[in-house]
């Protein structure tokens, strides 16, 4: 699990008096969070807020500031910050305009891009009038990076931090209406509106509000406007009716969401009548007849069982006593009133939930009635995954009929499918339509970050050829239904990794793509690396480590056995680490990735350490102690921070300090520059130093994500080559050489007296044996 930081939200409240009633102001804020350049949704920062019921205004104050090295980042470049807002679930964003996986529904979001108004600070305001209650999510990121791989610690990084704050204002005294009971109300001259609400239980298919003005006459008998909206107070564009000269006006809301409030607002025009208006308000709920337990247990088609389990006709439904008479043009109750079948929820793991139906997974669809199923997604817990639905038609059940099965998935209220024109939308309600037939037997739907609550799936079988269908006569279609919740779409495929992320107490999952693949499910191959390119990059990164073979041979010939063992260790683990570190499918791991990475980094640093210490020509005991001490300290440093700059520079500078001290002491005692031969400097030390310096510059300033495979391969070859040049020759034993002998090749001039060479002879004890040999 990857933690995206802690959003420690703090809140405060205050009560105010507004014209028309009391309201409460709530304040909440989250701690600042560092923003990252966008690569995938896994690189965004997610913030979670809660908006209470009866809120008429929500204001997000977005504070963004720069930091560099613990101070204000006045010299950091300006980068635009994009913030996305969504109610009910995290926003599904696509700033790179990549392709989504097939059969994926993409919900809409609000977005806001902020620019800088001050050198190190800016802010933005996002207002939402009458926001939907419940969970709100904010996602923020920086623009896509240029791909440079920066070395940690080389310079102070510019950090861009976002701190969102939420201010909500909610009413405290919203009057609750009792369905079917008229209520006498008064709108005073100084009040322009009055707000009411009524609760909508399950199986309600219509809400009707009626307003009757009392005491008014003439054209301005009822200067009021009636507005309706589910879940939140009405807006200017909500369903409305102006009463005008009529003393009675009525407004209906079809298919309201179940288990929520419906708000009713009565308001006067901007230039009100200037007098107190009395009116009578009444709300009716038209509900479906709910079947009794005995009817719910009827087998066969009543439970949409497969034909193999039996199919018995269902007795006609009795009329509902609570449903008022239908007016002309109103939708008849049977169109929306079918039994809703529950599903069994089986939780396997985080974001791994399967929904099972009774007598399933096959569902029989008789021609005269649809099948309606309910899927319950738990608040907060289930909105961070992907809701997947799959329909598969059993063609053998069609009996040579041209049958098409339609599925309509809606949120919070079921929507029936008509007998003729098949749509999955009605007025303000819109769902997702699926179709299976003999020509296309399988239909799939994926909804990333679904809204929580109850989802309803309506299945209906119709005959004929589109766009006009008719009710089938004697064909009962059978479909196989599979519904589940998963962390990512198809587990991100072979070119992605599904990551479980956390922000404070909220869990969500997102794909992190590799090898140039992009998109929500790592299915966009526009910039993908080909198999040949992946194979080439893997071979370059692995085979470039063979450049350590010449230093290994040279070290063995010079009797540097310990150093040769370190170079061999580095060559082996660097080869297999890069074989395991590849982003595509050309990957080969001989052990755990973390172990390979640790050994590769340790071998690289130890190679530098032992080479520089060997150049210092220290006493064997001192050299072995430094080797062992370096191995232990480097292991500790890598465990603390594996990518820090000082993990490379610290040991290198310390070893160079030991080397400089040893050479300086030796030069002072001998009164001659050490090493004394110009050939050693010209042909070995200078080229080796230049090669090592070039490697460090490439690693620190040139390497990017696009050129990594060949720049890093060059780094391997340069480091191995520099070792071959810098490694000193084998130490000579005491023996006489002709005075005219000269050094050849790249060897140091070694003094014959080994004690003097090791600094064990004082200045007064120096003898004529300072004759040097190559």
Q: What is the CATH number of the domain that holds 179?
A: 2.60.120.380
Domain count, the chain: 4
> What is the pLDDT, as a whole number, of residue 539?
93
The pLDDT of 305-317, averaged and rounded, is 40
Q: DSSP code of 518?
A: B
CA distance 180 to 325: 14
CA distance 152 to 643: 6
Query: Does residue 130 sit in the same domain as residue 165?
Result: yes
Low-confidence winner among 21-25, 288-292, 567-571, 596-600 (lowest mean pLDDT): 288-292
CA distance 261 to 731: 90
Q: Which of 262, 287, 312 is the last residue of a domain?
A: 287
Orientation of helix 620-640 relative to helix 646-670, angle to 10°: 160
Query: Does residue 649 sit in the same domain as residue 704?
Result: yes
More confident residue, 766 or 562: 562
The pLDDT-based confidence of 766 (bands split at 50, 70, 90) is very low
CA distance 240 to 250: 9
Is residue 138 in some structural domain? Answer: yes
Query: Does residue 135 sit in the same domain as residue 180?
Result: no
Is residue 503 in some structural domain? Answer: no
Report yes or no: 228 and 238 within 8 Å, Cβ to Cβ.
Answer: yes
Query: Does residue 712 sit in the same domain as residue 624?
Result: yes
The pLDDT of 180-207, averaged and rounded, is 90
The pLDDT of 746-753, averaged and rounded, is 44
Report yes or no: 448 and 519 within 8 Å, Cβ to Cβ.
Answer: no
CA distance 227 to 267: 8
Three-state SS string over 366-377 comes to CCCCCEEEEEEE
Is residue 278 in some structural domain? Answer: yes
The pLDDT-based confidence of 667 (bands split at 50, 70, 90) is confident
Query: Does residue 567 sit in the same domain as residue 708?
Result: yes
Q: Which of 434, 458, 487 is the last residue of a domain?
A: 487
More confident residue, 737 or 230: 230
CA distance 754 to 182: 113
Q: What is the largest CA-CA distance in the chain?
A: 133
Residue listed under structure tokens 């204000």: 72
State pLDDT tens for residues 375-404.
Answer: 999 988 899 999 999 999 988 878 777 889
At residue 305, φ and ψ (nearest 5 deg) are -75, 155
Percent of the chain with pLDDT strictly greater than 90? 47
Is residue 95 in some structural domain? Answer: yes
Where residue 665 falls (left for φ over 0; alpha for ψ -120 to 50; beta otherwise) is: alpha
Report yes or no: 222 and 249 within 8 Å, Cβ to Cβ.
Answer: yes
Query: Does residue 98 sit in the same domain as residue 231?
Result: no
Report yes or no: 211 and 243 within 8 Å, Cβ to Cβ.
Answer: yes
The pLDDT-based confidence of 148 (bands split at 50, 70, 90) is low
Q: Report the DSSP pairing between strands 2-3 and 496-503.
A: parallel
Query: Does residue 482 sit in the same domain as residue 543?
Result: no
Is residue 506 in some structural domain? Answer: no
> What is the pLDDT, as a whole number, of residue 733?
53
pLDDT score of 217 more than 70: no
State pLDDT tens for residues 78-100.
Answer: 889 999 999 999 999 999 999 99
Q: Which of 487, 512, 545 is the last residue of a domain?
A: 487
Query: Does residue 458 sit in the same domain as residue 552?
Result: no
User: pTM for the whole thing?
Assistant: 0.80
Is residue 259 in some structural domain? Answer: yes
CA distance 747 to 680: 6
pLDDT score of 582 more than 90: no
**Two structure tokens written together for 676:** 């004394």
Q: 53-67, 106-120, 280-294, 410-424 — which one is most confidently predicted on average?
A: 53-67
* DSSP of 634-688: HHHHHHH-TTBTHHHHHHHHHHHHHHHHHHHHHHHHHTS-SS--HHHIIIIIHHH
The number of beta carbons lying within 10 Å of the beta carbon of residue 180 is: 11
Q: What mean pLDDT, rounded, does the chain reach? A: 82
CA distance 653 to 631: 15
pLDDT score of 324 more than 60: no
More confident residue, 349 or 479: 479
The pLDDT of 762-774, averaged and rounded, is 36
Helix (H) or strand (E) holding 700: none
The pLDDT of 147-175, averaged and rounded, is 81
Is residue 754 in some structural domain? Answer: no
Q: Which of 69, 67, 52, 71 is nearest to 13 (CA)?
A: 52
Is residue 165 in some structural domain? Answer: yes
Q: Which of 190, 132, 175 is nearest to 265 (CA)?
A: 175
Query: Does residue 91 sit in the same domain as residue 135?
Result: yes
SS3 456: strand
Domain encompassing residue 658 = 531-726
pLDDT score of 350 more than 90: no
CA distance 288 to 637: 70
Query: Does residue 106 sit in the same domain as residue 243?
Result: no
CA-based radius of gyration for the chain: 38
Find the distance separating the first CA and the last CA of the chain, reported in whole Å: 60
State pLDDT tens for residues 509-550.
Answer: 999 998 889 999 999 998 898 999 999 999 999 999 999 999
Q: DSSP code of 145?
A: P
Query: Does residue 688 sit in the same domain as residue 561?
Result: yes
Helices (H), 130-288: none
Query: Does residue 703 sit in the same domain as residue 666?
Result: yes
> What is the pLDDT, as a whole number, of residue 272?
59
**Two structure tokens written together for 672:** 């001659």
Q: DSSP code of 600?
A: H
């Amino acid at each position: 699990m990857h933690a995206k930081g802690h959003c420690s939200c703090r809140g405060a409240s205050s009560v105010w008096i507004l014209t028309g009633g009391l309201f409460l102001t709530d304040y909440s804020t989250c701690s600042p969070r560092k923003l990252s350049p966008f690569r995938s949704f896994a690189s965004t920062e997610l913030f979670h807020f809660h908006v209470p019921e009866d809120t008429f205004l929500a204001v997000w104050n977005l504070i963004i500031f720069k930091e560099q090295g613990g101070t204000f980042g006045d010299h950091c470049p300006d980068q635009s910050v994009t913030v996305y807002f969504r109610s009910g679930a995290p926003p599904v964003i696509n700033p790179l305009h990549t392709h989504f996986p097939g059969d994926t529904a993409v919900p809409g979001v609000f977005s806001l891009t902020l620019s800088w108004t001050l050198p190190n600070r800016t802010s933005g305001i996002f207002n939402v009038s009458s926001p939907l209650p419940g969970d709100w999510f904010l996602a923020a990121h920086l623009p896509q990076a240029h791909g440079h791989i920066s070395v940690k610690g080389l310079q102070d990084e510019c950090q861009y931090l976002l701190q969102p704050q939420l201010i909500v204002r909610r009413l405290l005294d919203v009057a609750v209406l009792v369905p079917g009971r008229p209520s006498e109300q008064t709108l005073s001259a100084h009040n322009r509106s009055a707000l009411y609400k009524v609760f909508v239980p399950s199986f309600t298919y219509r809400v009707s509000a009626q307003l009757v003005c009392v005491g008014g006459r003439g054209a301005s008998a009822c200067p009021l406007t009636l507005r309706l909206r589910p879940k939140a107070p009405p807006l200017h564009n909500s369903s409305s009716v102006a009463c005008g000269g009529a003393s009675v006006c009525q407004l209906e809301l079809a298919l309201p969401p179940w288990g929520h409030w419906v708000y009713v607002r009565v308001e006067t025009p901007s230039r009100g009548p200037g007098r107190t208006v009395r009116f009578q308000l009444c709300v009716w709920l038209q509900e479906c007849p709910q079947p009794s337990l005995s009817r719910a247990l009827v087998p066969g088609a009543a439970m949409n069982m497969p034909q193999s389990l039996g199919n018995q006709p269902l007795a006609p439904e009795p009329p509902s006593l609570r449903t008022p008479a239908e007016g002309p043009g109103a939708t008849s109750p049977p169109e929306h009133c079918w039994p809703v079948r529950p599903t069994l929820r089986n939780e396997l793991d985080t974001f791994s939930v399967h929904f099972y139906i009774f007598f399933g997974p096959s569902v029989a669809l008789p021609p005269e009635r649809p099948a309606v199923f309910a899927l319950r997604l738990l608040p907060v817990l289930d909105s961070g995954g992907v809701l997947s639905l799959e329909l598969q038609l059993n063609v053998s059940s069609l009996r040579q009929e041209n049958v098409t099965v339609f599925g309509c998935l809606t949120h919070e209220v079921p929507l029936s499918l008509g007998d003729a024109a098949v749509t999955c939308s009605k007025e303000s309600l819109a769902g997702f339509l699926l179709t299976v037939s003999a020509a296309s037997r399988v239909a799939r739907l994926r909804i990333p970050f679904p809204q929580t609550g109850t989802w309803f799936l309506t299945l209906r079988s119709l005959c004929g050829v589109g766009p006009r269908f008719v009710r089938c006569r004697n064909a009962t279609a059978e479909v196989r239904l599979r519904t589940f919740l998963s962390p990512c779409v198809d587990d991100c495929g072979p070119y992605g990794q599904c990551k479980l992320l956390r922000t404070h107490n909220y869990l969500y999952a997102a794909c992190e793509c590799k090898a140039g693949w992009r998109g929500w499910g790592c299915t966009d191959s526009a910039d993908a690396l080909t198999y040949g390119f992946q194979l080439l990059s893997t071979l370059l990164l692995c085979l470039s480590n063979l450049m350590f073979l010449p230093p290994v041979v040279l070290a063995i010939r010079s009797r540097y056995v310990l150093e040769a063992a370190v170079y061999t260790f580095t060559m082996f683990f660097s080869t297999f680490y890069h074989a395991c570190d590849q982003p595509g499918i050309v990957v080969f791991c001989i052990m755990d990735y973390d172990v390979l990475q640790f050994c590769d980094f340790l071998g690289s640093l130890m190679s530098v350490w032992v080479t520089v210490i060997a150049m210092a020509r220290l006493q064997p005991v001192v050299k072995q102690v430094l080797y062992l001490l370096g191995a232990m300290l480097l292991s500790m440093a890598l465990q603390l921070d594996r990518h820090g700059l000082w993990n490379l520079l610290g040991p290198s500078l310390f070893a160079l300090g030991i080397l400089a001290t040893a050479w300086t002491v030796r030069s002072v005692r001998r009164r001659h520059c050490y090493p004394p031969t110009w050939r050693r400097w010209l042909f070995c030390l200078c080229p080796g130093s230049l090669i090592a310096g070039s490697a460090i510059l490439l690693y620190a300033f040139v390497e990017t994500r696009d050129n990594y495979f060949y720049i890093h391969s060059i780094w391997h070859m340069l480091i191995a080559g520099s070792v071959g040049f810098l490694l000193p020759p084998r130490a000579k034993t005491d023996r006489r050489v002709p005075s005219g002998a000269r050094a050849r090749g790249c060897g140091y001039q070694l003094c014959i007296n080994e004690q003097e060479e090791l600094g064990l002879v004082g200045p007064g004890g120096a003898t004529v044996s300072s004759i040097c040999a190559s």
